[in-house]
Amino acid sequence: MGKRGERGLLPKPPWLDPEKVREAEREALRVVREALRGVRRDELASAVLELYREIPRESWLVRGVARVLLGTVARKGEGTWLVYGVPELGDWHGYYIVALEGGRYRCSCFASSWGWRRARRICTHVAAVMLARRVGG
């Protein structure tokens, strides 16, 4: 059993704590900017640089890194990941399923409102999975 918080409940996961989400966003911005400037050289910075070469969108990377820092990505099987929803990042659902099918990522958010736009521009749930895979997740 995990630690219990007030009233016998399990503690709130970091992705559901607005202050922790803001902290993760600030840290993610720092990570991405330092990686792109060549100042940071750890595993996450390498993943950011590699992904930036494929998809040069800084704000998208920041949100993906924030999701990774918050621990939202969980591998569920070969080519399948669960990404917990982060309300502070605009998520409406508790989790999203990302699958790698035929060399392409698909996210369950593609089936929701504005999903066609997310599919075309690649959502940040997929960004988080791509980053997590590159850092050993």
Using the predicted structure, report yes or no on whether residue 97 has a pLDDT greater than 50.
Answer: yes
Task: Please report, for the chain, the start and end positions of each structural domain, with discontinuous segments joined by +.
Answer: 6-134
Using the predicted structure, report yes or no on whether residue 1 has a pLDDT greater than 70.
Answer: no
Region 3-20 average pLDDT: 81
103-121 burial: b if 16+ Cβ within 10 Å, else e: eebebbbbeeeeeeebbee
pLDDT confidence tier of residue 2, bands split at 50, 70 and 90: very low
- The structure's pTM equals 0.87
pLDDT confidence tier of residue 119, bands split at 50, 70 and 90: low
Region 114-135 average pLDDT: 82
Query: Model confidence over 43-61: pLDDT tens digits?
Result: 999 999 999 999 999 999 9
How far are the Cα atoms of 33, 68, 74, 98, 119 from residue 95, in angstroms, in the given order? 28, 14, 10, 10, 17
